[in-house]
């Protein structure tokens, strides 16, 4: 079965190759709606705290890796929230809404098949995701923490 990730990869490949203007416009639309679908899938696969309704749904507490860490699905994620006019990510150990201790993480038995993998050489700007070949800032793979689920 072809999944959304594979469909996007095929659309991008065909976009690169086509010189037909109408086909190009059509493929851009297809790609955009597939990317929307992909964002939904990524969101569904993202671990969330389950302590309270607002923690579950508001997404102000989210899993991520420390900024300096290489995007690697084998690294255990941490919980973060946004502060300083929502621009700064700060690690949190407790839910900012209900005060509950945030859960730990365990590797999913069945992680998403297309996880972002990056190795940082000296020049980060030249770095690409090894899974899809796109710039790692804007790739459509699952972020590495989607390989994890909450461990209650």
Contact footprint for Zn ion (CB under 5 A): 51-52, 55, 95, 97-98, 100, 116, 129, 131-132, 139, 141
The helix (run of H) or strand (run of E) holding residue 79 is strand 78-83
DSSP label of 51: S
CA distances from residue 51 to 34, 57, 111 in whole angstroms, order as listed: 32, 11, 23
Please report how close the Cβ of residue 20 comes to Zn ion at its closest, in angstroms: 27
Q: Are 120 and 91 in contact (CB under 8 A)?
A: no
Please report how close the Cβ of residue 22 comes to Zn ion at its closest, in angstroms: 29
Q: 3-class SS at 134? A: coil
Nearer to Zn ion, 52 or 75 (CB): 52
Nearer to Zn ion, 25 or 100 (CB): 100
Nearer to Zn ion, 83 or 100 (CB): 100
Angle at which helices 21-45 and 4-17 cross, to 10° = 150
**Bridging pattern class, strands 88-91 and 104-107:** unpaired
Please report how close the Cβ of residue 30 comes to Zn ion at its closest, in angstroms: 19
Please report how close the Cβ of residue 132 comes to Zn ion at its closest, in angstroms: 3
The helix (run of H) or strand (run of E) holding residue 57 is helix 53-57
First-residue to last-residue Cα distance in the chain: 33
Please report how close the Cβ of residue 140 comes to Zn ion at its closest, in angstroms: 6
């Amino acid at each position: 079965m072809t999944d959304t990730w594979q469909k996007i990869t095929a659309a991008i490949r065909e976009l690169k190759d086509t010189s037909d203007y109408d086909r190009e416009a059509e493929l851009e639309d297809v790609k955009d709606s597939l990317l929307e679908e992909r964002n939904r899938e990524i969101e569904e696969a993202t671990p969330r705290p389950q302590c309270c309704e607002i923690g579950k749904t508001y997404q102000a507490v989210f899993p991520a890796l420390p900024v300096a860490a290489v995007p690697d699905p084998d690294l255990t994620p941490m919980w973060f929230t946004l502060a300083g006019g929502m621009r700064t990510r700060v690690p949190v150990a407790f839910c900012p809404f209900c005060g509950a201790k945030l859960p730990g993480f365990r590797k999913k038995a069945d992680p998403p098949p297309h996880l972002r993998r990056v190795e940082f050489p000296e020049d980060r700007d030249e770095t690409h995701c090894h899974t899809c070949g796109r710039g790692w800032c804007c790739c459509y793979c699952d972020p590495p923490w989607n390989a994890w689920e909450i461990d209650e």
